Every structure is written in C-alpha cells, then in structure tokens.
C-alpha cells in the first residue's frame, strides 16, 4: 500500500518540534492549506520544485496548497522548527472575500533567508500563535488569527526584500525526469520511459530518484496525479471517469483503487465529505 501523500488539516494547526535523531519523511506529501515553516536551529533539507534547499536557522518556507514537498535530515540528526498550517477561511471572520483575495494574491511558495532581527520576530510570532492556539474562547481565536494575518503581511513585505536562499540543484537526469512527469503525468508513462529518456539503467535511475525525492518513481507519479484528482474533486463537478482520463489513470477502477489506498475512502465519499467548490 502507498504511504499517504495527502495530509489534511480541517482546522488551524501549529507545531513546535526538535529532534535529536534522524527524522526523514518517507514520501513527498502535500496539504490543502498554506504552510509556513521556520527553521530555528540545526539543518534540514527541503525538496521543492526540483531543488534541494539546505535549511538553517532563519530560513522561512512558504508553501501554497497542493505544493508537493519533502524534508529530510540526511547527514544531520538535530534540528528545531516551527510549522503552521492554515486556510484563508480562518481569516474570514474579519476580512471580506475581496480582501482575502487581495491578501493571498502573489503569495507564492518560496524559501526566504531572514536576518537575525527578523528571525527573532518571526520566532516570537510563532510562539505567540502556539500559546493562543491552546486557549479556548472567541477572543483567543480572534487574537490567534490576527497573529496569522500579521505574519502573512510581513512575509509579503519581506519576500520582495530578503535574501533568496541559495540552493543545490539535484542531478540533471532527475530534474529532467521530474519535469517530464510533471508535464506528462496524464499520459501512459512508466519507469522504463523515464530511465531510457535520461539514458540510465532502471536500477541506477530508481536509486538516485528515490535519494533525491524520497519517493519511488511510481509513488511520485501517483502523488502528482492525486494532487490533480484532489483539486478536481473539491473544485469541479467533473465525473470520475473524466477525472481519471484527465489525470492519466487507466480507468475509473484504477483511480478508485489508488485513491482508496491513499485516502482510505472512495473518491465519491471524499468529494461528498470535503467538497468546497470555488
């Protein structure tokens, strides 16, 4: 059975963690919410958009909904971080639809290196949000989301001024393969197709692909396809057979089988429970 690629959040989520042992994600995943990640200490490798970033203290990661990503420790055991997940709906009690649309306009996935002062400021905001999230009551909720709002406004301002994090590109063969999968996921492609395309043996290609992405070739392909399926189920009325055809699954039955393995429910039930059309 596939490991879960989708990690849902039905409400605001914030978490502080520090690890003294290696802690690697088993497979790339995504959320249907925005995510803000702050590296407090240690090092962490982030795989995002075909690039491997080495996160150190003061590195801030912004991830849009449905952005596939993976973090790994590789050779570093210790790291400390804060992570926050939220949806625009969390701010709807004090912002209009138009204001929300404006707020999240050009709020793109990126990695920003903060200076010492900004690192402390963001760290304090995360700690404040963490404390407020543990309190009950209408006022605490308002205060919590006002902190989230301030974080977003600071990020929008800093994204135009702060240093873009240096990154380490992965092997060109893997970048080529990933770009091909991302573009042709709706076609009939397999391991042989990609390994032959980059002139590598199946074994060697599989090994370096897994090292770079944290996923097998098939897991990665299904992750990409399922992000598309997920969005279509939530945001359209398309029939399941049409969605299967658009996203590269060989049949409705094939899509349903893979979907059940990942989401533990049928696509029909998932749509009924989670549908929130735009």
Average pLDDT over residues 119-136: 96
pLDDT bin (cut points 50, 70, 90) of residue 130 is very high
Report DSSP letters for 161-215, one per residue.
TSEEPPEEE--HHHHHHHHHHHHHTTS---HHHHHHHTT--HHHHHHHHHHHHSS
**Coil, strand or helix at 124:** helix
pLDDT at 5: 64
Highest mean pLDDT among 19-33, 78-92, 170-184, 263-277: 78-92
Cα separation, 64 vs 155, whole angstroms = 13
What sign has the CA pseudo-torsion 250, 252, 253, 259? positive
Who contacts 205 (Cβ-Cβ below 8 Å, separation ≥6)?
173, 177, 191, 194, 195, 198, 217
**Coil, strand or helix at 22:** coil
- Backbone angles phi and psi of 42, in degrees to 5: 70, -165
Q: Answer with the residue of higher pLDDT: 92 or 227.
A: 92
pLDDT bin (cut points 50, 70, 90) of residue 8 is low
pLDDT bin (cut points 50, 70, 90) of residue 196 is very high
pTM of the model: 0.69
105 exposure class (CB count in 10 Å sphere: 0-12, 13-18, 19+): exposed
By C-alpha distance, which of 37, 41, 39, 95 is closest to 69?
37
DSSP state of 38: E
Cα separation, 179 vs 193, whole angstroms = 13
Q: Answer with the residue of higher pLDDT: 185 or 264.
A: 185
pLDDT at 66: 84
By C-alpha distance, which of 143, 157, 133, 130 is closest to 60?
157
The answer to whether residues 18 and 78 touch, using CB atoms and an 8 Å cutoff, is yes
pLDDT, tens digit (0-9, with 9 covering 90-100), for 58-82 = 999 999 988 888 887 766 668 899 9
pLDDT, tens digit (0-9, with 9 covering 90-100), for 82-96 = 999 999 999 998 899
Cα separation, 109 vs 131, whole angstroms = 26
For the chain, what are the domain ranges?
A: 13-167, 170-274
Determine which helix (DSSP H) or strand (DSSP E) holds 42, and give its type and residue range: strand 34-42
Average pLDDT over residues 121-126: 97
pLDDT at 261: 84
pLDDT bin (cut points 50, 70, 90) of residue 278 is very low
pLDDT, tens digit (0-9, with 9 covering 90-100), for 147-174 = 999 999 999 988 876 555 555 556 788 8
Q: Which CATH superfamily is domain 13-167 in?
A: Regulatory protein AraC (2.60.120.280)
Q: Among 3.30.390.30, 1.10.287.3510, 1.10.10.60, 1.20.1630.10, what is the CATH number of 170-274?
A: 1.10.10.60
CA-to-CA separations, 118 to 61, 79, 147, in angstroms, rounded: 14, 19, 15
| Angle between the N-to-C axes of helices 116-133 and 138-158, in degrees from 0 to 180, rounded to the nearest 10 | 160
By C-alpha distance, which of 15, 22, 14 is closest to 79?
22
CA-to-CA separations, 93 to 32, 146, 217, 221, in angstroms, rounded: 20, 10, 43, 38
């Amino acid at each position: 059975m596939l490991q879960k690629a989708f990690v849902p959040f039905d409400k605001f989520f914030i978490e502080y963690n520090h690890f003294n042992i290696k802690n690697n994600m088993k497979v790339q995943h995504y959320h249907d919410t925005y995510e803000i990640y702050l590296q407090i200490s240690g090092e962490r490798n982030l795989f995002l958009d075909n690039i491997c970033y080495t996160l150190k203290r003061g590195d801030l990661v912004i991830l849009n909904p449905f952005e596939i990503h993976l973090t790994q420790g590789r050779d570093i055991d210790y790291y400390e971080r804060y992570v926050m997940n939220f949806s625009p709906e969390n701010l709807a009690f004090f912002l209009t639809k138009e204001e929300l649309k404006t707020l999240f306009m050009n709020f793109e996935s990126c990695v920003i290196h903060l200076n010492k002062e900004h690192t402390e400021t963001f760290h304090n905001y995360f700690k404040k949000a963490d404390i407020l999230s543990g309190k009950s009551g209408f006022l605490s909720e308002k205060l919590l989301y006002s902190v989230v709002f301030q974080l977003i406004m600071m990020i929008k301002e800093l994204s135009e001024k702060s240093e873009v994090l240096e990154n380490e590109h992965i092997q060109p063969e893997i970048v080529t393969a990933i770009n091909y999968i991302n573009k042709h996921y709706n076609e009939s492609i397999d391991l042989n197709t990609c390994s032959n395309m980059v002139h590598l043996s199946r074994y060697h290609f599989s090994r370096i692909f897994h090292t770079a992405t944290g996923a097998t070739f098939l897991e990665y392909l299904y992750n990409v396809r399922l992000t598309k399926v997920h969005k279509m189920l939530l945001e359209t009325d398309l029939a399941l057979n049409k969605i299967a055809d658009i996203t590269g699954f060989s049949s409705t039955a094939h899509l349903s089988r893979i979907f059940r393995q990942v989401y533990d429910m049928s696509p029909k039930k998932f749509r009924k429970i989670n549908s929130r059309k735009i």
